[in-house]
Amino acid sequence: MNGGNPKLRRLYLRLKHFILGTILNGIEGIWRDDHDWITYTSFDNLKCQFNSSFEIRRNDGTIASIVSTGRFEQQDFSVYIWPDYKGVPYPLNTNDYE
């Protein structure tokens, strides 16, 4: 949140178990449930798609989407920092912060 790693664009972790609410505890943001599918293009041209996320915004306006998906005994935790690697800006309305 403080911009300690300005080169970070995407973080992906596969974990056995975590509680998303515990990780996000105390972080201000907006749940974006059931929106249209968003595509984030990664550095290796991998297309990451999601339709539900937790949106956070830094003081400088940088937006990140936090996405969690569960698969049996493993869960994925991803953070996507906008714009993506192709320069595509965050596609959803951000007026909720104003």
Report the pLDDT value the prediction gives residue 29, as an integer from 0 to 100. Answer: 93
Residue 19 lies in a domain: yes
Model-level pTM? 0.84
Per the document, the length of the chain is 98
> For residue 77, how many other CB atoms are within 10 A of its CB?
16
Please report the pLDDT score of residue 88 as a whole number: 95
Low-confidence ranges of the chain (pLDDT < 70): 1-3, 71-73, 95-98
Is 95 contained in some domain? no
Note the pLDDT of residue 17. 78
What pLDDT does residue 59 have? 87
Q: For residue 6, say if its preceding peptide bond is cis, omega within 30 degrees of 0.
A: no
User: Where are the alpha helices (H) located in the chain, listed in sequence order?
Assistant: 20-24
Tally the domains of the chain: 1
pLDDT value for 87: 94
What is the domain extent for residue 44? 10-82
Contact by Cβ (8 Å): 80, 69: no
